[in-house]
Structure 1
Amino acid sequence: MNLVSKLGETAKLKPDRTAYIFGDQTETYGGLQEKIDRFAGGLYEIGVKKGDHIALLLGNTPHFLISFFGALKAGAVIIPINPTYTPTEIGYLLTNGDVKVVVADGKLLPLYEKMHEMLPKIEQVILCETSEPLQDSENLQVNNKLKSFANLMKSSVQVFSEPNQDDIAAILYTSGTTGKPKGAMLTHQNLFSNANDVAQYLTMDEDDLVVAALPMFHVFCLTVCMNAPLMNGAAVLIMPKFSPSAVFKLVKKHKATIFAGVPTMYNYLYQHEGASEDGFASVRICISGGAAMPVALLNNFEKKFNVLVLEGYGLSEASPVACFNPFHTGRKPGSIGTNILNVKNKVVNEFGEELPPNQVGELIVKGPNVMKGYYKMPEETAHTIKDGWLYTGDLARQDEDGYFYIVDRKKDMILVGGYNVYPREVEEVLYKHPDVAEAVVIGVPDPNKGEVVQCYVVPKSKTLTEEEIVSHCERHLAKYKRPSTIIFLDEIPKNSTGKILRRALKDILTKQS
């Protein structure tokens, strides 16, 4: 079984069930399947063969969903790319990923016109009319490489390339926070198994409506908000972009049942003026991932909206989900939960030996969701996957009940005078201050201690002072863990998925010095 065949089964059994909602559009599973078939046929007609690489430079629209499943049905390998990336970033991914065909938002045509001479391997660019989704555009100026999405959808050719389980389905590039992005090769088994296991774990069914407010090009949304619901007959509420007011409005209007987001999104929802329990009354479960959620924020959010927030853990290389807090047998705030179905996690030392409970080591993952490897990077693959285990680079501990806790990224740990300081521990303390909206901690060089703790704070109140922060930390942290300096910011720099850019914070520090 794979994503395409499973979706096809649902379309045959329940053709009139709602598959997605986008603005004023509501599409059934039968209608979605017809669009997927037409897109796959259109790809075949322009020469796409099994194994060809197709990049999706699309935001959250039905075009993404149709292109994703249509390309898989045609036997292609999908490379989702953030459409807001710079030309340099996009050019690198298209070149490194050996992309043959690009499906892009029509607004990116001027960008392609500037870049096309740098991308000789691109054979076709399919432009989507995102202002009027799925409608023909007679005025689109095309040359031998440019095609209209609407025209491509006129195909009546029937095509289905049955994949093997270990065939590559997608290449997902990591965010590149520690260097050039690496392309995680995910197989059909990887994507299907994780989507199916997540859906079962969260008991998704045809009565659920899942909010896709995260970027669909990101693996979190791809699996949890798109693939998982569509594998189980649920519907997807596609939001073009995240905004707190839009979330509350659409959740209430359509009676959405599942919301997924990163901690930053939950913070914005919690802080939103006029937010009330009524805005999330239909939501039965909230899912948080992408980064550790401060316990204070989790507790405050649950209390304000009377909804359960379950933290999970994943990474692109694991398709992505490896852990989730169970809601049938209890959860633990601050924990990423326990093993999901068919996936094993453990905490090991530098020799790969499993550590006893509550000792900090590296979290490693094993299961049908673990990637095949990094595209064209055999050395990186060998360093990351050992004996079938994926070494995540995250520091974690496991308690006596089998619940895992992320301590921090190995690379983010701060060494102060020989003592380990984990940024998350300090950030948890900062979030407990009633006037702190956001807080981030990094390590900065120090001639005497090697490193010291530097903290960045977005205050709720303009009256918050550095002295108050210092006093607060003195009450809760050992001396070596306390921030040496405190910098107030209007906003913490983040990437398009809401993940904090620690490197950008270091750049701010460099400029200020």
Structure 2
Amino acid sequence: MLEKSLIEVIKKYPDKTAIAYDTLRISYQEFYANITHLSNYLSTFSIDRGDCIALNLPNSPEFAIAFYATAKLNAIVLPINPLLKEEELSHYIIDSNTRAIITNSNGADISHKIISKIDKRIELIVLDDTYPFTKEVDKSIITESTSIFKGDVLYQYSSGSTGRPKRVCRTQNNLYQEVINFTETTNISPEDNILCIVPLYHAHGLGNCLLATIHNGATLVILEQVSHQGKAIEVPFVFRRSRVLELIEKEKITILPAVPYIFNTLAETPDDTQVDVSTLKLCFSAGNFLSKEIFDKFIQRFGIPPRQLYGCTEAGSIAINLDEDLKNTYNSVGCPLKNIDIKIIDDAGKELPIGSIGEIVIKSQALTRGYHNQLEVNQQVFKDGSFFTGDLGKKDEFGRVYITGRTQIFIDTGGHKVDPLEIENILLTHSQVKEAVVVGIKGLYAGEIIKAVIVPQNQGICEEKDILSYCKDKLADFKVPKIIEFRDEIPKSPLGKILRKSLIDNLSETIKS
């Protein structure tokens, strides 16, 4: 279904720019030629339908080409965060039964190291200057599959109450329905230019940037990587701000998907910086709550409101706030997308009246069938074709949805959503850690700072530098705690429940960090 949608666009707009990356421009015809070229190359390794291919790639044209080349084979894409460390990557590679890893020169070493420690054959395909991408286009050759593949095309991992990421399996039809729902709601057209500054491995970037662009014949402008001495490096977004604003003006960006952290950083652009954002017609934020402070700052600086979007790994985009006047509804995620049903229910499963807070339950053809090998969890959260999100919310009389809380705990740090239980599980494997609790405390700017509270096995032996070094070896840098606090005991309720709120100190400690 994804390939059929792509071919329809190629026939209509063969010479239109599909992807812009720095000075590179790839037309839809060239995009498809490279997809075909890579899918044929993958076939030489006997990769076939149902095989899993991991993409250890940053945001780049290579990611987009590899995604569609894998889908063309009716194989399964596993997009991976390239910032993850060896142990984290290994878990995903092993759990997903990966047959091949596609990466670039930056990810080649760690990918090779992972493969060497796994007792099965995994192909390593490095897309770099030596890989023969093609600019040669034969417009007469379009090889479209005649059968509709109903199997999985995407694996992504969603954290939950267990602290161990769960594999989400979605089909081509799931992704196709998601992009249809999003397109019909937001009216994306071939005239749109979408700026991609959120990760393509994430549901937000994959669905609302890559799939939304390609399905509609629009242009995807990808923020290029920063290189130092020939090697790509990760830098804080504030150092990319001027480049992003330059791209908005130069590429005439019409749609800007982002997260609260990015909108806050853009809103703090110095007043003496001249920026033309007149082409922007839709800015929307996902991944976490968009505060009134950031909303006001952004609209005051640029004159366009950032809108809330609600989504999840299990179903992609679910709702978006498209109100004309957002003064009183800025904190709403809006109405459900076309073809999506949202209910608010009580503990007994009964639908609640307007204004009442309960659990958010969604029904959509974009929804996954469930988590892989998680029968007990699936029985709890997937019932009668609906997904019980674990999020709390309410509806108003116009059908707008408001998120009021979560039954799951996440930390929003630097634009990344982190599950504290994952970090706790790592800390508890340290020989000198008896108990560990991880919380997020409010930072000086947008987002939170990760704090770990530890009860050591032996006082005086466990040191902060040892804990940090241990975490850095096993966790992506953005997951490593910035604050370590040692205590004699963890505060708990009479029933033994950890009192996390009492571990979140006041502003004095925030300033200290």
Normalised to the residue count of structure 1, the TM-score between the two structures is 0.76
Select between 5-14 and 241-250 the one with higher mean Cα deviation.
241-250
Residue 167 of structure 2 is matched in structure 1 by 183
Paired with 1:450 and 1:439, the residues of 2 have a C-alpha distance of 23
Residue 213 of structure 1 is matched in structure 2 by 197
Q: Please state if 1:488 is matched with 2:510.
A: yes
Contact 2:101/2:123 (CA < 8 Å) preserved in 1?
Answer: yes
Match of 1:150 among 126, 129, 132: 132
5+ residue gaps, structure 1: 130-134, 138-148, 414-429, 457-482, 492-513
Shift of 1:438: 3.1
Residue 354 of structure 1 is matched in structure 2 by 351
Q: Please state if 1:372 is matched with 2:350.
A: no
Shift of 1:350: 1.4
Task: Give the direction of change, closer, same or farther, for the CA distance of 1:150–1:384 in structure 2 (3 Å limit).
Answer: farther
Report the AA paired with residue 325 of structure 1.
N
Paired with 1:327 and 1:187, the residues of 2 have a C-alpha distance of 32
Residue 290 of structure 2 is matched in structure 1 by 293
**Partner deviation per Cα, 1:142-178 (whole Å, 9 max, x = no partner):** xxxxxxx438999999865456464211011124685
Task: Give the direction of change, closer, same or farther, for the CA distance of 1:88–1:354 in structure 2 (3 Å limit).
Answer: same
Residue 42 of structure 2 is matched in structure 1 by 43
Residue 64 of structure 1 is matched in structure 2 by 63
Q: Please state if 1:272 is matched with 2:292.
A: no
Residue 3 of structure 1 is matched in structure 2 by 2
Paired with 1:165 and 1:454, the residues of 2 have a C-alpha distance of 51
Paired with 1:400 and 1:165, the residues of 2 have a C-alpha distance of 41
Q: Please state if 1:323 is matched with 2:295.
A: no
Paired with 1:371 and 1:219, the residues of 2 have a C-alpha distance of 13
Contact 1:42/1:153 (CA < 8 Å) preserved in 2?
Answer: no
Paired with 1:232 and 1:166, the residues of 2 have a C-alpha distance of 22
Q: Secondary structure at the match of 2:64?
A: helix
Match of 1:196 among 176, 180, 191: 180
Residue 169 of structure 1 is matched in structure 2 by 153
Q: Secondary structure at the match of 1:278?
A: coil
**Partner deviation per Cα, 1:476-506 (whole Å, 9 max, x = no partner):** xxxxxxx767521577xxxxxxxxxxxxxxx
Contact 2:29/2:137 (CA < 8 Å) preserved in 1?
Answer: no
Task: Give the direction of change, closer, same or farther, for the CA distance of 1:153–1:349 in structure 2 (3 Å limit).
Answer: farther
Residue 21 of structure 2 is matched in structure 1 by 22
Q: Please state if 1:397 is matched with 2:394.
A: yes
Paired with 1:437 and 1:198, the residues of 2 have a C-alpha distance of 31
Shift of 1:287: 1.0
Residue 405 of structure 2 is matched in structure 1 by 408
Report the AA paired with residue 270 of structure 1.
A
Task: Give the direction of change, closer, same or farther, for the CA distance of 1:261–1:490 in structure 2 (3 Å limit).
Answer: farther
Report the AA paired with residue 167 of structure 2.
G
Contact 1:365/1:390 (CA < 8 Å) preserved in 2?
Answer: yes
Report the AA paired with residue 446 of structure 2.
E
Report the AA paired with residue 30 of structure 2.
G
Task: Give the direction of change, closer, same or farther, for the CA distance of 1:32–1:484 in structure 2 (3 Å limit).
Answer: closer
Q: Secondary structure at the match of 1:230?
A: helix
**Partner deviation per Cα, 1:10-46 (whole Å, 9 max, x = no partner):** 1112101111100100111111111111111111122
5+ residue gaps, structure 2: 226-236, 411-440, 454-489
Residue 445 of structure 2 is matched in structure 1 by 437
Contact 1:39/1:153 (CA < 8 Å) preserved in 2?
Answer: no
Cα RMSD, aligned residues only: 3.0
Task: Give the direction of change, closer, same or farther, for the CA distance of 1:454–1:403 in structure 2 (3 Å limit).
Answer: farther
Match of 1:250 among 239, 247, 263: 247
Contact 1:43/1:152 (CA < 8 Å) preserved in 2?
Answer: no
Report the AA paired with residue 175 of structure 2.
L
Residue 12 of structure 2 is matched in structure 1 by 13
Paired with 1:124 and 1:154, the residues of 2 have a C-alpha distance of 27
Contact 1:21/1:236 (CA < 8 Å) preserved in 2?
Answer: yes
Residue 425 of structure 1 is matched in structure 2 by none
Q: Secondary structure at the match of 1:317?
A: coil
Paired with 1:239 and 1:177, the residues of 2 have a C-alpha distance of 34
Task: Give the direction of change, closer, same or farther, for the CA distance of 1:343–1:188 in structure 2 (3 Å limit).
Answer: same
Paired with 1:450 and 1:384, the residues of 2 have a C-alpha distance of 24
Contact 2:2/2:172 (CA < 8 Å) preserved in 1?
Answer: yes
Residue 87 of structure 2 is matched in structure 1 by 88
Normalised to the residue count of structure 2, the TM-score between the two structures is 0.76
Shift of 1:245: 1.7
Shift of 1:299: 2.0
Residue 419 of structure 2 is matched in structure 1 by none
Task: Give the direction of change, closer, same or farther, for the CA distance of 1:24–1:484 in structure 2 (3 Å limit).
Answer: closer
Q: Please state if 1:230 is matched with 2:226.
A: no
Residue 309 of structure 1 is matched in structure 2 by 306
Task: Give the direction of change, closer, same or farther, for the CA distance of 1:177–1:279 in structure 2 (3 Å limit).
Answer: farther
Task: Give the direction of change, closer, same or farther, for the CA distance of 1:348–1:165 in structure 2 (3 Å limit).
Answer: farther
Task: Give the direction of change, closer, same or farther, for the CA distance of 1:490–1:20 in structure 2 (3 Å limit).
Answer: farther
